[in-house]
Amino acid sequence: MDTVRAIQGDTVDAICWRYYGRTAGVTEAVLTANPGLADLGPILPTGQLVAMPEVSEQAEQQTAINLWD
């Protein structure tokens, strides 16, 4: 598991976007891997270490729903 250090003004979503290239399905995994991280507020303290878990590519895929059949 890699670790990322937050820069000034960072949010968990911003870190996920930089590290994984997406936020869907990975933000939750990062918060689960870092107990108490959400308690720090939406803007993380500069220098905060964040563990970045391995996530499957399956989390990236979304199912399309056809509403007109």
Give the domains, in start order, of the chain with CATH numbers: 2-54 (3.10.350)
CA distance 16 to 37: 14
Angle at alpha carbon of residue 41, lines to 45 and 56, rounded to 5° = 90
Can you give the pTM of this predicted structure?
0.79
Tokens of 68: 């007109």
- Digit-by-digit pLDDT tens for the chain (69 residues) are 899 999 999 999 999 999 999 999 999 999 999 999 999 999 999 999 999 999 987 544 555 667 886
Predicted local distance difference test score (pLDDT) of residue 56: 81
Q: Could you tell me where the beta strands, DSSP code E, fall in the chain?
A: 2-5, 49-52
Q: Where are the alpha helices (DSSP H) in the chain?
A: 12-20, 27-33
**CA end-to-end span of the chain, whole Å?**
44
